[in-house]
């Protein structure tokens, strides 16, 4: 121990020797005498000596300090001085035992792990300006010889996963008090906590250790400026519409009530429109947005329910939008990339764009139109559509859920009743490799588990139940592939066994926080009119569409049935995947040019017309091999009209 300064009380000398190289005597003494015991804990590491892990190792001094600081301003000073003297004395004993000043090897017992668990049960906005966090304690208090008597609340940004090096807690309570914190929301500032998550920690004199689940704000919708009821469609019939005046008019003639609009997220940043969010200004592409405005506005004006699919393609100028370390992949192997919310820049950019889109397409009164459903990414169980690089399914879902929450919070805090979805293909328990392809069932299960633990969201499922293979339209015999079973262990779930999907989503663990089955939309399916083995067969396609729509329309848990093509795409048609209701001009391979309607067009037009539907689909029964639709479709909607 360094020699004590002459004429200086031992306690102050000890403080000086221990803190002058770290805080400075003046600053340290000011903090000690200007704050209460709780705040003294902040600087205790500056003067604790070897062998004194926490104040709990000096119970007499701690008790006297607590008593004095609660009662007298001067008592606070005396308590600190007494503590310093105690610590100094301990060091003098060590010095006498080791007069040569050589290092003394002390055998310290292993530090026990914390034994309490702070179960955060709710994290919600109250009063529009604060966040109320409530929970209950489980287990027993950690050993007081190692951990102090407080619980600390920390704020984590979406891209942060640990408390390593952190000391900036935002709240604290004494152990034994109710697990309850109230903090400011800071909405609209750079310190906005709307997107943050919160954890509770304990302190051992060296670091803070998390002892709770992670909790996000679960009710961002209470802040929404736009509170219009959800736009419920008149029927379930939907279509991805070719964006030309003639094809938009064609969709109106079909009586379509649901439309898909793809939004190229990676092209939103640009020039022409400035937008400020949380104190930062972003520039967006006027050209890209005006094209979207035209489509969405026209659909909205015709009372269609618009579903936007947010797709993140590669853009050399926006590397922050893709997951760290990901490089551009061959275009024939990877079509789109996962959203990056795991870095500060990625998170802030996604947050700003999502908020901007939500505000722009927020209301029927908006000059830009109204989006009611938002699908974040496409077929996320296959990284061909959502590339972040090889990783296990748990880490993959964690990264997707991290980004999904940013979209969810941005959109729901703007539009109270909008719905958000993630999508999967039909590979329920099939073709997974554990690194870039995953079972749809596993994705659904793990997403539900993670969102439940971090704070429930009102998410929905957008499912793609194509036939097997895509080059043959008659899904009703897909069980011959061996991939269709009538239980949750089925390798594939498509229209043939659609009940497996809706039965599974009725499980308690997958229901929404209101106890109801989550919203399910069939957001993409198509049936080819060109069989890979038999050539063109428009009747087969029309029969498949009729049967598939009846199945979805008669299932109470399906909200929408959206066909993948209005017009055949030349690239798909060349591979016997002619999913459109119109043929295309194959002499123009780089464009989609409609030439003539198929039989399926008239079937789709009349499929929900009470007077015409059964007559229109009569031809299909012989193709499928049935006498009545109600024989193969549970709760068939038009059963009372069948002969």
Structure tokens at 516: 């109801």
- Comparing CA positions, the residue from 438, 443, 428 lying closest to residue 487 is 428
Q: pLDDT tens across 49-74, in order?
A: 333 333 333 344 444 444 444 444 44
DSSP of 343-360, one letter per residue? SHHHHHHHHHHHHHHHHH
Confidence band for 561, pLDDT divided at 50, 70 and 90: very high
Residue 1 lies in a domain: no
Domain end position, chosen among 175, 200, 217: 217
Q: Would you say residue 438 has pLDDT above 50?
A: yes
Residue 541 lies in a domain: yes
Q: Cis before residue 469, ω within 30 degrees of 0? A: yes
Residue 285 lies in a domain: yes
- Per-residue pLDDT at 18: 43
Structure tokens at 542: 């029309």
- Comparing CA positions, the residue from 379, 380, 420, 522 lying closest to residue 463 is 522
Q: Would you say residue 15 has pLDDT above 80?
A: no
Q: pLDDT tens across 190-243, in order?
A: 999 999 999 999 999 999 999 999 999 999 999 999 999 998 999 999 999 998
Residues 479 and 370 both lie in one domain = yes
DSSP of 590-642, one letter per residue? TS--EEEE-HHHHHHHHTT-TTTHHHHTHHHHHHHT-S-GGGTSTT-TTGGG-
Judging by beta carbons within 10 Å of its beta carbon (0-12, 13-18, 19+), is residue 310 exposed, middle or buried?
buried
Contact by Cβ (8 Å): 615, 546: no
Contact by Cβ (8 Å): 536, 529: yes
Residues 277 and 198 both lie in one domain = no
Residues 596 and 461 both lie in one domain = yes
Q: How many alpha carbons lie under 13 Å from residue 407 in its C-beta half-sphere?
A: 26
Structure tokens at 161: 């996963």
Nearby residues of 177 by Cβ (< 8 Å), 6 or more positions away: none
Residues 298 and 174 both lie in one domain = no
Contact by Cβ (8 Å): 129, 184: yes
Q: pLDDT tens across 592-606, in order?
A: 999 999 999 999 999
What's the DSSP call for residue 76? H
* Domain membership of residue 301 as a residue range: 226-641
Residues 154 and 242 both lie in one domain = no
Which residue shows structure tokens 């209460």?
Answer: 36
Residues 329 and 409 both lie in one domain = yes
Contact by Cβ (8 Å): 343, 320: yes
Residue 15 lies in a domain: yes
Residue 562 lies in a domain: yes
Which H or E run includes 524?
A: strand 520-525
What mean pLDDT value characterizes the chain? 88
Q: Would you say residue 3 has pLDDT above 90?
A: no
Residues 198 and 252 both lie in one domain = no
Domain count, the chain: 3
| pTM of the entire predicted model | 0.85
Residue 106 lies in a domain: no
Residues 80 and 130 both lie in one domain = no
Residue 574 lies in a domain: yes
Residues 410 and 497 both lie in one domain = yes
Nearby residues of 417 by Cβ (< 8 Å), 6 or more positions away: 221, 227, 228, 229, 230
Domain end position, chosen among 192, 217, 242: 217
Residues 264 and 287 both lie in one domain = yes
Structure tokens at 72: 């007298």
Residues 323 and 467 both lie in one domain = yes
Residues 416 and 532 both lie in one domain = yes
Q: pLDDT tens across 246-299, in order?
A: 999 999 999 999 999 999 999 999 999 999 999 999 999 999 999 999 999 999
DSSP of 305-316, one letter per residue? EEEEEEE----T
Q: pLDDT tens across 503-555, in order?
A: 999 999 999 999 999 999 999 999 999 999 999 999 999 999 999 999 999 99
- Per-residue pLDDT at 107: 67
CATH number for position 448: 3.20.20.80
Q: How many alpha carbons lie under 13 Å from residue 299 in its C-beta half-sphere?
A: 34
- Per-residue pLDDT at 103: 52
Domain end position, chosen among 68, 97, 126: 97
CATH number for position 164: 2.60.40.10
Q: How many alpha carbons lie under 13 Å from residue 217 in its C-beta half-sphere?
A: 33
Question: Cα–Cα distance between 144 and 55 in angstroms, integer?
Answer: 9
Q: At what angle do helices 245-254 and 599-606 cross, to 10 degrees?
A: 50
Residue 111 lies in a domain: no
Q: pLDDT tens across 169-200, in order?
A: 999 999 999 999 999 999 999 999 999 999 99
């Amino acid at each position: 121990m360094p020699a004590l300064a002459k004429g200086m009380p031992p306690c102050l000398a000890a403080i000086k020797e221990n803190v002058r190289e770290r805080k400075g005597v003046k600053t340290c003494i000011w903090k000690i005498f200007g704050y209460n015991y709780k705040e003294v804990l902040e600087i205790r590491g500056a003067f604790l000596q070897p062998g004194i892990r926490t104040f709990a190792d000096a119970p007499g001094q701690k008790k006297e300090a607590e008593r004095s600081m609660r009662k007298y301003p001067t008592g606070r000073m005396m308590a600190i001085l007494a503590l310093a003297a105690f610590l100094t004395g301990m060091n003098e004993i060590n010095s006498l035992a080791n007069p040569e000043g050589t290092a003394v090897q002390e055998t310290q017992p292993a530090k026990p792990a914390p034994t309490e668990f702070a179960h955060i049960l709710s994290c919600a906005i109250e009063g529009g300006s604060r966040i109320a966090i409530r929970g209950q304690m489980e287990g027993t208090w950690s050993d007081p010889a190692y951990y102090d008597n407080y619980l600390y609340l920390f704020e984590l940004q979406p891209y942060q996963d640990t408390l390593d090096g952190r000391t900036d807690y935002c709240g604290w309570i004494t152990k034994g008090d109710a697990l309850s914190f109230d903090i400011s929301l800071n909405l609209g500032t750079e310190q906005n906590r709307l997107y943050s998550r919160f954890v509770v920690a304990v302190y051992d004199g060296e670091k803070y250790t998390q002892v709770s689940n992670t909790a996000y704000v679960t009710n961002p919708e209470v802040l929404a400026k736009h509170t219009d009821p959800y736009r419920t469609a008149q029927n379930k019939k939907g279509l991805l519409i070719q964006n030309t005046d003639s094809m938009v008019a064609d969709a109106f003639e079909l009586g379509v009530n649901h439309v898909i609009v793809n939004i190229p997220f990676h092209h939103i940043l640009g020039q022409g429109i400035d937008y400020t969010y949380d104190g930062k200004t972003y520039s967006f592409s006027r050209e890209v947005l005006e094209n979207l405005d035209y489509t969405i506005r026209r659909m909205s004006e015709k009372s269609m329910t618009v579903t936007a699919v947010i797709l993140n393609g590669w853009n050399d100028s926006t590397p922050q939008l893709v997951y760290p370390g990901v490089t551009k992949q061959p275009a024939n192997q990877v079509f789109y990339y996962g959203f990056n919310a795991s870095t500060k820049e990625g998170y802030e950019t996604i947050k700003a764009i999502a908020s901007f889109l939500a505000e722009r397409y927020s209301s029927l009164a908006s000059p830009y139109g109204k989006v009611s459903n938002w699908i974040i990414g496409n077929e996320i169980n296959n990284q061909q559509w959502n590339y972040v690089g090889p990783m296990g399914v748990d880490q993959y879902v964690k990264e997707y859920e991290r980004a999904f929450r940013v979209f969810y919070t941005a959109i729901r805090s703007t539009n109270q009743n909008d719905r958000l979805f993630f999508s999967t293909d039909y590979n329920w328990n099939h073709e997974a490799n554990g690194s870039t392809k995953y079972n749809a069932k596993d994705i659904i299960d793990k997403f539900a588990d993670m969102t439940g633990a971090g704070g429930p969201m009102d998410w929905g499922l957008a499912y793609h139940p194509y036939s097997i293979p895509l080059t043959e339209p008659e899904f009703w015999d897909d069980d011959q592939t061996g991939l269709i079973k009538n239980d949750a262990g089925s390798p594939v779930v498509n229209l043939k066994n659609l009940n497996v999907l809706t039965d599974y989503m009725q499980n308690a663990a997958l229901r929404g926080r209101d106890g109801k089955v989550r919203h399910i939309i069939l957001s993409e399916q198509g049936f080819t009119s060109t069989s890979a083995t038999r050539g063109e067969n428009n009747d087969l396609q029309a029969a498949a569409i009729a049967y598939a729509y009846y199945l979805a329309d008669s299932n109470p848990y399906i909200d929408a049935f959206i066909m993948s093509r209005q017009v055949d795409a030349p690239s798909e048609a060349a591979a016997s995947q002619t999913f459109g209701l119109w043929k295309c001009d194959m002499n123009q391979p780089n464009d989609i040019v409609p030439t003539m309607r198929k039989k399926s067009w008239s079937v789709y037009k009349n499929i929900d017309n009470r007077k015409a539907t059964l007559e229109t689909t009569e031809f299909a029964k012989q193709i499928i091999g049935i006498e009545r639709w109600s024989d193969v479709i549970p709760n068939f909607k038009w059963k009372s009209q069948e002969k």
